[in-house]
Amino acid sequence: MEELCQKESCLDLPSQEWKKGAETLWGFCAQWAGPKSSHFTEAARLGWRKAQGPSLGASVAGRNGTGSAHTCAFSPSARRSYLCTLPPALLSREILMADSEALPSLAGDPVAVEALLRAVFGVVVDEAIQKGTSVSQKVCEWKEPEELKQLLDLELRSQGESQKQILERCRAVIRYSVKTGHPRFFNQLFSGLDPHALAGRIITESLNTSQYTYEIAPVFVLMEEEVLRKLRALVGWSSGDGIFCPGGSISNMYAVNLARYQRYPDCKQRGLRTLPPLALFTSKEVGKRHRPNPGLLILISSQLSRDLPGLLPALPTSSKASLPPGGCASFQSRSVTTPSRRELRFWDLAPTVSEWSRLMREGKWSPRIWRGRLVWPRLRLTFHFFETFILDSGAVPFLVSATSGTTVLGAFDPLEAIADVCQRHGLWLHVDAAWGGSVLLSQTHRHLLDGIQRADSVAWNPHKLLAAGLQCSALLLQDTSNLLKRCHGSQASYLFQQDKFYDVALDTGDKVVQCGRRVDCLKLWLMWKAQGDQGLERRIDQAFVLARYLVEEMKKREGFELVMEPEFVNVCFWFVPPSLRGKQESPDYHERLSKVAPVLKERMVKEGSMMIGYQPHGTRGNFFRVVVANSALTCADMDFLLNELERLGQDL
């Protein structure tokens, strides 16, 4: 058979790929030589039949219409293939195909594929899931970056690796990754591992489709619609729209874009230069700088404006190019806080007064408005100030973004009061409930979000407290006028043909600014099916109970000082080490206390015993934030946390 090789080109073909190669080349030859070529037909038939056999080679030969011969041969026993005098285009395609010797392909060796995947799943179940969620194992295995690079052997090489090596690589990836499903992982607003959600994620990855059209994602288009309907119902809406987004910040930016488009529907055609300066109110924790009290800030946004041009894909390139750097006018970013309901005692406008004073000196603000407006720390008056300021500055207010569950302290803005202001002034009300939205499932605690039904849009991340898995971030809208599609649609003719054989309203791709979109609904849907509303509600309530348990236990111990009574499942506190106890009056007490959390964090991570986040917040120095989110947690884990902090900090 190998005599057929004309030595013009000899290619290595991996054993696992040889059948696939035979099929592929057979297809090329059939196309090129024509199926009627007797020489080709016979050889191809022979080759095809033999290609199915366990050890024999296959040969395909033919003659094209112009008389130039081409020949291909496969020799599985020698694990080589030869192909000769094929057109260069075909040759280069074959070279690309034949250059991968690492993994089995589905077509080439389904048995090897199955063996590989079963082995990988076994490693995942053993290492990532069982060990990864066991308190007898570490939550992380810290390595310095240079050492980790060596351990992982990250370089990508021309030669592929064996299945055994690949499995070792999977083990190493899992070993050195942080186990976010571990009961001692308190570091982020997500934690825990829901098996049904994970099953959904595995299926999603295996099916590998994009959510943009019904034709390629029929199940998921209908499922997304149903999941969003369920989330909207919990908000309190019987109709509306929505979309799963790549994260809460993107959901929030969508809301801004929609609010602006609703107010200026011709902005896509006319460009942003034609709009007046716009102003919005948003939760101060969206901003870069954090102040003592989470609440609202007025952000005349240079920060936000950086994000907006990316949300206008439908603008003609020329008008995009002519836009100012920001989508909202180029104002300074300034904040004024209002208190959230539990934090009125922290209310202090003094720093803000000096900022506004500077604006006044710079002629950006009328003194008339300045006097008599800022000094009262009362929500209504502060809003009155906002309104007056904005109107006087010429900026057009268009949106308020309130927060239900701030990132650090877990505070909830008073939505009813904010909704009153929005209603009075025709402002779009967006609620960033990325963290706190899941509380809507709890009959006991959903009052924290009273008023959310009055919002125009809501961002809610089930990947956080519900542990649906990253990412699962819903933007929910009360709108029923197809605003999402009108605002973001670009009518790509290769995806959204209007003469399709099914109802094209099912195609969701024009609701979003991206093109391909991950399927994020299945993991949530499957988990919800398994748990029901009741199971999910129990999880939320349990998290509140455990957070309260942790707080009460802290109060019994000497070395723990709460930042505030938690409103949610964020428990914020200082660990006061023995050397600082009773020294509260020392001038350097706060400075020294602020250094404790980073030291303890390093110790816990290097031991792998637990992970807790810390941060400064406004004028407060570093403190720990424990997020009680993992549904596998028990009181014993809370006790462990306190004991472990005491152990790690006993010499400080």
Residues that bind ligand ABU (CB under 6 A): 188-189, 248, 407
Q: How far apart are CA 59 and CA 135, in angstroms?
A: 59
Nearer to ligand ABU, 212 or 435 (CB): 435
Nearer to ligand ABU, 248 or 469 (CB): 248
Structure tokens at 266: 């011709």
* Cβ 137 vs Cβ 131: under 8 Å: yes
Give me the phi and psi of 541, to 5 degrees please.
-60, -40
Q: How far apart are CA 557 and CA 646, in angstroms?
A: 10
Nearer to ligand ABU, 248 or 509 (CB): 248
Q: How far apart are CA 214 and CA 222, in angstroms?
A: 8
Nearer to ligand ABU, 286 or 513 (CB): 286
Q: How far apart are CA 429 and CA 125, in angstroms?
A: 44
Quote the distance between the C-alpha of residue 434 and its chain's center.
11
Nearer to ligand ABU, 188 or 594 (CB): 188
* Cβ 301 vs Cβ 280: under 8 Å: yes
Give me the phi and psi of 332, to 5 degrees please.
-75, 150
224: helix, strand or coil? helix
Q: Quick one: which of 277, 391, 266 has its CA closest to 326? A: 277
CB of 419 to ligand ABU, least distance (A): 24
CB of 235 to ligand ABU, least distance (A): 20
Nearer to ligand ABU, 349 or 474 (CB): 474
Nearer to ligand ABU, 246 or 324 (CB): 246
* Cβ 466 vs Cβ 524: under 8 Å: yes
Q: Which residue has the tokens 């973001």?
A: 488
CB of 145 to ligand ABU, least distance (A): 22
CB of 580 to ligand ABU, least distance (A): 26
CB of 582 to ligand ABU, least distance (A): 32
How many CB atoms lie under 10 A from the CB of residue 606? 12
Nearer to ligand ABU, 459 or 483 (CB): 459
Nearer to ligand ABU, 213 or 461 (CB): 461
Output the CA angle 334-336-340, nearest 5 degrees.
140
Structure tokens at 385: 């100030």
CB of 570 to ligand ABU, least distance (A): 9
Q: How far apart are CA 200 and CA 524, in angstroms?
A: 8
DSSP 354-377: HHHHHHHHTTSS-HHHHTTTSS--
CB of 564 to ligand ABU, least distance (A): 17
Nearer to ligand ABU, 72 or 543 (CB): 543
Separate counts of helices (H) and strands (E) for the chain: 21, 16
Structure tokens at 511: 């609701």
CB of 157 to ligand ABU, least distance (A): 36
Would you call the peptide bond into 471 cis, given omega within 30 degrees of 0 as the criterion? yes
Nearer to ligand ABU, 164 or 288 (CB): 288
CB of 248 to ligand ABU, least distance (A): 5
CB of 465 to ligand ABU, least distance (A): 11
Residue 162's region, left for phi above 0, alpha for psi from -120 to 50, else beta, is: beta
Nearer to ligand ABU, 349 or 468 (CB): 468
- 441 contact partners, CB below 8 Å, separation of at least 6: 234, 466, 533, 536, 537, 540
* Cβ 70 vs Cβ 1: under 8 Å: no
CB of 625 to ligand ABU, least distance (A): 8
CB of 643 to ligand ABU, least distance (A): 24
CB of 286 to ligand ABU, least distance (A): 10
HEC secondary structure over 415-467: HHHHHHHHHHHCCEEEEECCCHHHHHHCCCCHHHHCCHHHCCEEEECCCCCCC
CB of 221 to ligand ABU, least distance (A): 27
How many CB atoms lie under 10 A from the CB of residue 24? 18
Nearer to ligand ABU, 13 or 610 (CB): 610
Q: How far apart are CA 365 and CA 466, in angstroms?
A: 45
Q: How far apart are CA 521 and CA 231, in angstroms?
A: 11
Look at the chain and count its residues: 652
How many CB atoms lie under 10 A from the CB of residue 533? 12
Give me the phi and psi of 88, to 5 degrees please.
-55, -40
Q: For residue 612, what is the enclosing H or E element? A: strand 611-617
Nearer to ligand ABU, 301 or 473 (CB): 473
Output the CA angle 538-542-545, nearest 5 degrees.
145
Nearer to ligand ABU, 335 or 407 (CB): 407
CB of 551 to ligand ABU, least distance (A): 19
Nearer to ligand ABU, 211 or 407 (CB): 407
CB of 584 to ligand ABU, least distance (A): 28
Supply the DSSP symbol for 128: I
